[in-house]
Amino acid sequence: MATISDLTGGLVSNNGFFLTITPVGDDGDIPTGAPMILQYNPQSFSIKEELDFEQKQEQGQAGNDPQYKGIKPREFSIEFTIDSSGLFTPLRIPVIQHIALFRSLTTIPKSDMHRPQRLIVQYGTFISSCNLMSSEVTYTLFDREGVPLRAKVKANFQETKDTELNKAARNFSSPDVTHQYIVQLDDEQLPFVTYRYYRTPDFYIAVAAANRMKTFRKLEPGTKIFFPPVSTK
């Protein structure tokens, strides 16, 4: 059986928690390529949510109550370390190449889109369709020839509004679980199982996040899968 380390070329070990960054199409929901998988175990994880009000004031009149316009796209930041020194993880890809992979996935515009790719960022039960807004790389360890062996990356993301994934994500974090399924066969796949409950396979990534699955390509018989209620209104 393939391990997480096998699937990622040694980028992460088989222990700990994982953050995935997946490229998606213009709809913000459907993956268009392989995810970048990072070992990630933060002490805290913050999400900024801001309400949008418009202050209207007629000339010569006292200020009125601000008019509510909606909720601005959520913002969140992640920080992670890339290490090829061999002290913490048997990373087989040099730091410079790993940073290039991150930039190719999140920052460099694609010729067919004329913009950087939209992304799905997932950690535990948190999942968001979003765009990278900024990133900062700090190199903290070098070899004798000046080649970086370790880097800290801070990335800031802004959520993409009105995608089906983001509408459903808040409900997937809810403890109000109404359906449970136990995998019966060796060849069952999550998109097809998800379709049985929601009549659409679009939520399979969110289901994987809600169940903290490390992989959804092959489901082991006996695995319990929870399907939370979803409202896309």
Q: Are residues 156 and 204 in the same domain?
A: no
- Residue 57 within a domain: no
Q: Are residues 86 and 135 in the same domain?
A: yes
pLDDT for the residue numbered 11: 39
Q: Are residues 172 and 132 in the same domain?
A: no
- Residue 44 within a domain: yes
The predicted model scores a pTM of 0.64
CA terminus-to-terminus distance, the chain: 40
pLDDT for the residue numbered 33: 80
Query: DSSP letter at 113?
Result: T
Q: Are residues 95 and 194 in the same domain?
A: no
Choose one of 161, 186, 221: the last residue of a domain.
161
Alpha-carbon gap, residue 21 to 106, rounded angstroms: 9
Alpha-carbon gap, residue 154 to 48, rounded angstroms: 16
pLDDT for the residue numbered 208: 81
Domains in the chain: how many in total?
2
SS (H, E, C) 142-189: ECCCCCEEEEEEEEEEEECCCCHHHHHHHHHCCCCCCEEEECCCCCCC
H or E, element range at 121: strand 118-123
Choose one of 161, 186, 219: the last residue of a domain.
161
Show pLDDT as tens, one digit a residue, over the chain (233 residues). 323 333 333 333 344 467 889 888 776 667 788 888 887 878 778 889 899 888 776 665 666 778 888 888 899 999 999 888 776 665 567 899 999 999 999 999 987 778 899 998 988 778 888 999 999 999 999 999 999 999 999 999 999 876 666 655 555 544 444 577 788 777 778 888 887 777 776 777 778 877 777 776 678 888 888 887 665 44
pLDDT for the residue numbered 177: 46
Choose one of 115, 140, 161: the last residue of a domain.
161
Q: Are residues 157 and 73 in the same domain?
A: yes
Alpha-carbon gap, residue 202 to 194, rounded angstroms: 8
- Residue 39 within a domain: yes
Q: Are residues 195 and 146 in the same domain?
A: no
- Residue 109 within a domain: yes
Which residue matches tokens 């459907």? 30
Q: Are residues 3 and 72 in the same domain?
A: yes
**What's the Cα-to-Cα distance from 145 to each of 83, 97, 141, 148, rounded to whole Å?**
17, 17, 11, 9
Q: Are residues 94 and 143 in the same domain?
A: yes
Q: Are residues 188 and 228 in the same domain?
A: yes
- Residue 133, both tokens: 């807004």
- Residue 209, both tokens: 């996040």
What domain range includes position 214?
Answer: 167-233
Alpha-carbon gap, residue 70 to 72, rounded angstroms: 7
